[in-house]
Amino acid sequence: MLFKSRIRGKEEYQINYLKENCMLVSETLALVAANIKAGITGLELDEMAEEFIRSKGSVPGFKGLYGFPATLCISPNEEVVHGIPNNQPFREGDIISIDCGVINNGFYGDAAYTFAIPPLKPGVEKLLKVTKEALYLGIEMAKPGKRTGDIGFAIQHHCERLNKFSVVRELVGHGLGEKLHEPPEIPNFGKRGKGPKLVENLVIAIEPMVNMGRKEIKQMPDGWTVLTRDGSYSAHFEHSVVVRSGGAELLSNHEIIEESIKNNPFLALV
């Protein structure tokens, strides 16, 4: 007989570990944000991030997981997610989605942010703004008794119906805990009232991946990097949150990332 994985909330001590780790991820992304500029490479940022994480007594959560070779997923422009850091310098006009994870005390942390090196191409600023707005609209649905489809509908409606962008279908958010990817999946599309029910103290990563053009994607021969099929730009923002009856509690922190962006003259805060 097959049993479905049970969706369970976390104990408070587990949530505390998860919060510590998500905060370290946020601090790592803030460090990265302070150093992004035209001319720097993804490999340089990756080395910086790994050194910082290890200096805090933690371990990069992505490196070696499923065979991924780096600390950060760095995905510029038409790359959606899972880009492998390389020695190609960033250029003015690039947007760079960076996803980071750590593991410590047996639990993960996970968050992502898309950075922008001005001047931006027409429509790109709106793409980033709408994707970020959609993330928070999804987070508003992370309450006990709501369903994954409520989160997905909120994100999809804002991105597609109201703003004419496209939500990626094949890649989704997820539960977070002792594994990086736990039940339930959190799609960025769906119908209200459908999907698994959210429970008190469930920890989930909500992460809209939104394309300027069509929703279709493809994978590069490296087996990791996911691209938009039509070559349009893509944005990705992610928070890890706890489902609470009074409203979702953020475990990750974009505010410290955005403070770094404000202090970096080579980045635009959208």
Note down pLDDT in tens along the chain; length 270 residues.
333 457 999 999 999 999 999 999 999 999 999 999 999 999 999 999 999 999 999 999 999 999 999 999 999 999 999 999 999 999 999 999 999 999 999 999 999 999 999 999 999 999 999 999 999 999 999 999 999 999 999 999 999 999 999 999 999 999 999 999 999 999 999 999 999 999 999 999 999 999 999 999 999 999 999 999 999 999 999 999 999 999 999 999 999 999 999 999 999 999
Considering Cα of 6, then 11, then 17, then 23, what sign does the dihedral take?
positive
Q: What is the rounded end-to-end Cα distance, in angstroms, of the chain?
A: 50
pLDDT recorded at residue 5: 57
The partner residues of 240 in beta bridges, in order of sequence, read 205
Q: Which pLDDT score is estimated for 226?
A: 98
Kindly list the domain boundaries of the chain, sorted by start residue: 12-262
Identify the pLDDT of residue 1: 32
**Cα–Cα distance list, 32 to 24, 47, 133, 190 (Å):** 12, 10, 22, 33
The CATH classification number of 12-262 equals 3.90.230.10
Residue 84 CB-density burial (10 A; 0-12 exposed, 13-18 middle, 19+ buried): buried
Are the C-beta atoms of 176 and 243 separated by less than 8 Å?
no
Q: Using CB atoms within 10 Å of the CB of residue 159, give its burial: 0 to 12 exposed, 13 to 18 middle, 19+ buried.
A: buried
Cis geometry, peptide bond prior to residue 85 (ω within 30 degrees of 0): no
For 193, list phi and psi in degrees, rounded to 5: 80, 5
pLDDT at 6: 78
Confidence (pTM): 0.97
